[in-house]
């Protein structure tokens, strides 16, 4: 039995979201593998090339150029939209549940009355959500990478696929940190959840939809989606420089949330 | 003994609504001090500020000699029973107590087991589905198992059956004998007068009265009604020191006695009685009439 308060906080925090984390992982992995399984039949027909010819700009809005190549298919079907969206939704749901959600329910009051600093308690809660998110991301990366060869997608490159999955995880951590910052500043779970999902959607629009208009192409540089994934993370590779920018902004959000919770009253249920 | 809690000019607003209005408070060490007031008087806000769950807008607070905002260390010396205890419903009572022990840096669980037995609390039960009384017991075990220097208890006996309330009184006495101080908040006078030896009354965010319970009990007015088997000794009763407002209805005599009822009882003992009513004195009324403000009728327009 360990007696470290921080280890206990992490154990309780991860236990609280373990079950929902398992179902998020199950759904995401099944979704990813089903998409990979369609590639052999798409590859043998010309339907994807025809789709690209007819709907080029719409596909660009979904980061799905070059669909007829393994890397382009993976980008379009997984990494440019749906995988980062699902990872981020999981991160926001778990983070807000452990922070503002538990504060709304009055479950943090007794913990705050123990000899634990607010910083320790809230960072442990965020870390718990991040650990479960990390497990979801790693499990997805391993299973997707292991499925590349069976579905004839290994030409895309194992390293690029794994890094693209991890970059999606970094984007999810960023959106979880938005929920953390809003909760730390005193928002209810509803506001934290809605605010973080709003940032997720606006980020996508700024990163992929606005740049379809040439005059707004520069907007892409403002999107966290672009910082994490660029336009096509498997085809082009993930940019370490932009990823560092994403992680730096994430760190700022964590500092803001921690600063906020240290400067306000803890809510009663 | 030095005071364990002091508050000077503590003010707190929630938006435009004042919760504490320049509250001054001093809780002496080594005693059980009741913190009495109606719902909404500011008791919970005061406790939340003492535990650094809420921050005062102005004023100075010291708990065990330090500012509660200065860090979490002081809370290692405090045991707290929340008015509304929210537990992790997935855990059993035993797992909950083990978790709290770890969060306190690895407490010995021996006292927790002993307390569970004394309060008739099954550690194997899931927190989900516990009655409010059993949840209260979990809170009490969690507060007492740390053997703290200061116990801050918010309505600690609400929902407890009389046997457990009696055991709680013993626990309090043992804690005080071991050197602990107790700050017990309640809106129920009977809860405070059973346990506390000093009472602080708060209304509308400020302390309106404080004093020793024994002193109050001694000075309090006490109504009485006596049904005599024969002709009532009205003149003898009226002549007893402290007896007033005597009303005679046939063989029934009722009135009020201030302070000790000893003289009244001596007169009554000389006559045959069919029935006697001598209820507990209203300490709250006594408190306020003795010290400061009269009690306003709650339904007054």
Give the number of domains in chain A: 1
What is the spatial distance between Cα B31 and Cα B33, in angstroms, rounded to a whole number? Answer: 6
Per-residue pLDDT of B52-91, as tens digits, reads 999 999 999 999 999 999 999 999 999 999 988 888 888 9
- Please judge whether A114 and B99 are an interchain contact, meaning their C-beta atoms are less than 8 angstroms apart: no
Give the number of domains in chain B: 2
What is the spatial distance between Cα B156 and Cα B169, in angstroms, rounded to a whole number? Answer: 11
B78 lies in the same domain as B166: yes
Q: How far is B224 from chain A (nearest CA, A)?
A: 44
pLDDT at B35: 92
- Please judge whether B88 and A109 are an interchain contact, meaning their C-beta atoms are less than 8 angstroms apart: no
Per-residue pLDDT of A218-231, as tens digits, reads 888 899 999 999 88
B169 lies in the same domain as B275: no
For the entire predicted model, the pTM comes to: 0.85
- Please judge whether B104 and A115 are an interchain contact, meaning their C-beta atoms are less than 8 angstroms apart: yes
pLDDT at A53: 67
Enumerate residues 6+ apart whose C-beta is below 8 A from A116: A5, A9, B72, B103
Out of B164, B184, B216, pick the residue that ends a domain: B216
- Please judge whether A3 and B106 are an interchain contact, meaning their C-beta atoms are less than 8 angstroms apart: yes
Check which CATH number belongs to the domain holding B255 and give it: 3.30.70.100
Per-residue pLDDT of B144-179, as tens digits, reads 999 999 999 998 888 888 889 889 999 999 999 999
B247 lies in the same domain as B112: no
- What is the enclosing helix (H) or strand (E) of A32? helix A5-37
Answer whether residue A3 shows pLDDT above 70. Answer: no
B208 lies in the same domain as B226: no
Residues on chain A touching B88 (C-beta within 8 angstroms):
12, 16, 107
Per-residue pLDDT of A134-150, as tens digits, reads 999 999 999 999 999 99
Residues on chain B touching A119 (C-beta within 8 angstroms):
none
Best A114, A124, A267 member to test B by mutation, with max B CBs in 10 Å, is: A114
Confidence of residue B299 (pLDDT cuts 50, 70, 90): very low
Out of B163, B193, B216, pick the residue that ends a domain: B216
- What is the enclosing helix (H) or strand (E) of B178? none
What is the spatial distance between Cα B135 and Cα B129, in angstroms, rounded to a whole number? Answer: 9
Which residue among A105, A109, A115 sits closest to B75, beta carbon to beta carbon?
A: A115
Establish if B188 belongs to a structural domain: yes
In chain B, alpha helices (H): 43-50, 93-103, 110-118, 132-144, 162-177, 189-195, 213-219, 234-238, 262-268, 283-291
The DSSP bridge pattern shows strands B150-154 and B78-81 to be parallel
Answer whether residue B292 shows pLDDT above 80. Answer: no
B70 lies in the same domain as B162: yes
B58 lies in the same domain as B186: yes
What is the spatial distance between Cα B205 and Cα B52, in angstroms, rounded to a whole number? Answer: 18
- For residue B247, what are the domain limits? 221-280
Answer whether residue A212 shows pLDDT above 90. Answer: no
pLDDT at A40: 83
Check which CATH number belongs to the domain holding B87 and give it: 3.40.50.300
- Contact indicator for B79, A113 with CB cutoff of 8 Å: no
pLDDT at B36: 87
What is the spatial distance between Cα A242 and Cα A228, in angstroms, rounded to a whole number? Answer: 6
B276 lies in the same domain as B174: no
CA atoms within 13 A on the CB side of B123: 18
Residues on chain B touching A186 (C-beta within 8 angstroms):
none
- Total CB pairs under 8 A between chain A and B: 78
Question: Other C-beta atoms within 10 Å of A188: how many?
Answer: 16
Q: For helices A82-96 and A5-37, give the axis angle rounded to 10 degrees.
A: 160
Q: What are phi and psi of B181, to 5 degrees?
A: -115, 150
- Contact indicator for B103, A9 with CB cutoff of 8 Å: yes
* The two three-digit tokens of residue B155, written as one number: 């309505």
What is the spatial distance between Cα A155 and Cα A158, in angstroms, rounded to a whole number? Answer: 8
B139 lies in the same domain as B13: yes
- Contact indicator for A89, A96 with CB cutoff of 8 Å: no
In B72-109, alpha helices (H): 93-103
What is the spatial distance between Cα A164 and Cα A141, in angstroms, rounded to a whole number? Answer: 9
What's the mean pLDDT when you consider all of chain A?
Answer: 90
What is the spatial distance between Cα B157 and Cα B32, in angstroms, rounded to a whole number? Answer: 15
pLDDT at B238: 94
Establish if B21 belongs to a structural domain: yes
The per-residue b/e assignment along A90-105, b for 16 or more CB within 10 angstroms, e otherwise, is: bbbbbbbbbbbbbbbe
How far, CA to CA in Å, does B86 sit from each of A26, A134, B40?
A: 31, 29, 21
How far, CA to CA in Å, does B189 sit from each of A56, B199, B287?
A: 77, 10, 11
- Please judge whether A113 and B55 are an interchain contact, meaning their C-beta atoms are less than 8 angstroms apart: no
Q: Is A215 on the interface with B (CB under 8 A)?
A: no
B206 strand-pairing partners? B203
Q: Is A267 on the interface with B (CB under 8 A)?
A: no
- For residue A158, what are the domain limits? 5-261
Answer whether residue A269 shows pLDDT above 80. Answer: no
Best B71, B72, B136 member to test A by mutation, with max A CBs in 10 Å, is: B72
Q: What angle do CA A224, A129, A246 make, to 5 degrees?
A: 20
Enumerate residues 6+ apart whose C-beta is below 8 A from B75: A113, A114, A115, B51, B52, B68
What is the spatial distance between Cα B258 and Cα B219, in angstroms, rounded to a whole number? Answer: 6
More confident residue, B158 or B22: B22
B12 lies in the same domain as B67: yes
Establish if B295 belongs to a structural domain: no
Per-residue pLDDT of B217-229, as tens digits, reads 777 788 899 999 9
Q: How far is A6 from chain B (nearest CA, A)?
A: 8
Q: How far is B67 from chain A (nearest CA, A)?
A: 14
How far, CA to CA in Å, does B289 sit from each of A150, A269, B38, B208, B281?
A: 88, 36, 17, 11, 13
Mean pLDDT of B264-289: 83
Q: Is A109 on the interface with B (CB under 8 A)?
A: yes
Query: Using the 8-state DSSP alphabet, how is residue B301 labeled?
Result: -
Place of tokens 């860090």: B71
What's the mean pLDDT when you consider all of chain B?
Answer: 89
Establish if A266 belongs to a structural domain: no
B256 strand-pairing partners? B223, B244
B103 lies in the same domain as B163: yes
* The two three-digit tokens of residue B274, written as one number: 């069919």
Which residue among B44, B90, B104 sits closest to A114, beta carbon to beta carbon?
A: B104
Answer whether residue B191 shows pLDDT above 80. Answer: no
Enumerate residues 6+ apart whose C-beta is below 8 A from A50: none
| DSSP annotation string for B219-276 | H-EEEEEEEESSS--HHHHHTSTTEEEEEEETTEEEEEEES--HHHHHHHTTS-EEEE
B24 lies in the same domain as B80: yes
The per-residue b/e assignment along A58-88, b for 16 or more CB within 10 angstroms, e otherwise, is: ebbbbbbbbbbbbbbbbbbbbbbbbbbbbbb
pLDDT at A27: 96
Establish if B109 belongs to a structural domain: yes
pLDDT at B295: 44
Answer whether residue B293 shows pLDDT above 80. Answer: no
Q: Is B145 helix (H, G, I), strand (E, B) or coil?
A: coil
Confidence of residue B97 (pLDDT cuts 50, 70, 90): very high
B211 lies in the same domain as B231: no
User: Which residues from B are below 8 Å from A when comparing CB atoms?
Assistant: 44, 48, 51-55, 71-76, 78, 80, 82, 84-88, 90, 98-106, 142
pLDDT at B218: 74
Answer whether residue B289 shows pLDDT above 90. Answer: no
Residues on chain B touching A113 (C-beta within 8 angstroms):
51, 53, 75, 78, 80, 82
Establish if B10 belongs to a structural domain: yes
Q: What are phi and psi of B2, to 5 degrees?
A: -65, 150
Question: Other C-beta atoms within 10 Å of B172: how many?
Answer: 21
Q: For helices A158-184 and A189-204, give the axis angle rounded to 10 degrees.
A: 140
pLDDT at B300: 37
Mean pLDDT of A197-212: 91
Name the least confident of A116-130, A239-253, B274-288: B274-288
């Amino acid at each position: 039995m360990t007696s470290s308060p921080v280890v206990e906080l992490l154990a309780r925090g991860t236990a609280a979201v373990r079950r929902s984390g398992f179902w998020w992982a199950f759904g995401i992995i099944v979704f990813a593998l089903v998409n990979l399984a369609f590639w052999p039949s798409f590859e043998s027909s010309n339907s994807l090339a025809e789709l690209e010819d007819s709907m080029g700009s719409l596909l660009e809005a979904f980061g799905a150029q070059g669909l007829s190549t393994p890397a382009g298919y993976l980008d379009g079907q997984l990494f440019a939209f749906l995988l980062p969206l699902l990872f981020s939704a999981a991160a926001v749901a778990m983070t807000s549940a452990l922070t503002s959600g538990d504060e709304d329910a009055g479950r943090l009051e007794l913990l705050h009355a123990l000899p634990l600093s607010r910083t320790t308690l809230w960072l442990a809660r965020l870390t718990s959500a991040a650990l479960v998110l990390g497990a979801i991301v790693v499990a997805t990366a391993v299973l997707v990478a292991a499925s590349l060869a069976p579905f004839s997608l290994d030409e895309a490159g194992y390293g690029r696929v794994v890094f693209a999955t991890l970059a999606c995880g970094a984007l999810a951590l960023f959106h979880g940190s938005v929920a953390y910052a809003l909760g730390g500043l005193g928002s209810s779970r509803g506001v934290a959840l809605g605010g973080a999902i709003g940032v997720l959607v606006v980020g996508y629009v700024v990163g992929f939809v606005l740049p379809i208009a040439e005059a707004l192409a520069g907007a892409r540089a403002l999107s966290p989606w672009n910082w994490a994934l660029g336009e096509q993370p498997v085809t082009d590779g993930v940019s370490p420089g932009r990823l560092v920018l994403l992680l730096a902004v994430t760190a700022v959000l964590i500092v803001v949330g921690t600063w906020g919770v240290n400067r306000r009253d803890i809510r009663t249920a | 003994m030095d005071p364990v809690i002091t508050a000077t000019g503590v003010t707190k607003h929630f938006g435009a609504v004042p919760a504490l209005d320049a509250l001054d408070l001093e809780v002496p060490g080594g005693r059980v001090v009741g913190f009495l007031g109606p719902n909404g008087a500011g008791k919970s806000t005061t406790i939340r500020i003492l535990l650094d769950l809420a921050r005062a807008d102005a004023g100075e607070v010291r708990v065990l000699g330090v500012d509660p905002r200065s860090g979490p260390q002081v809370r290692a010396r405090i045991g707290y029973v929340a008015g509304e205890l929210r537990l992790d419903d997935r855990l059993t009572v035993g797992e909950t107590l083990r978790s709290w022990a770890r969060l306190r840096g690895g407490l010995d669980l021996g006292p927790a087991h002993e307390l569970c037995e004394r309060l008739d609390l099954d550690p194997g039960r899931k927190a989900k589905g516990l009655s409010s009384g059993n949840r209260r017991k979990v809170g009490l075990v969690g507060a007492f198992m740390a053997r703290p220097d200061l116990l801050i208890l918010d309505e600690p006996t609400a929902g407890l059956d009389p046997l457990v309330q009696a055991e709680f009184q013993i626990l309090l006495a043992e804690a005080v004998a071991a050197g602990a101080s107790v700050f017990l908040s309640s809106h129920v006078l009977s809860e405070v007068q059973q346990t506390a030896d000093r009472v602080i009354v708060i209304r509308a965010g400020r302390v309106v009265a404080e004093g020793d319970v024994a002193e109050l009990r001694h000075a309090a007015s006490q109504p009485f009604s006596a049904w005599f088997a024969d002709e009532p000794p009205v003149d003898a009763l009226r002549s007893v020191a402290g007896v007033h407002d005597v009303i005679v209805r046939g063989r029934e005599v009722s009135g009020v006695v201030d302070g000790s009822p000893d003289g009244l009882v001596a007169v009554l003992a000389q006559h045959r009685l069919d029935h006697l009513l001598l209820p507990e004195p209203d300490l709250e009324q006594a408190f306020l009439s003795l010290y400061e403000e009269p009690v306003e009728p709650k339904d007054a327009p």
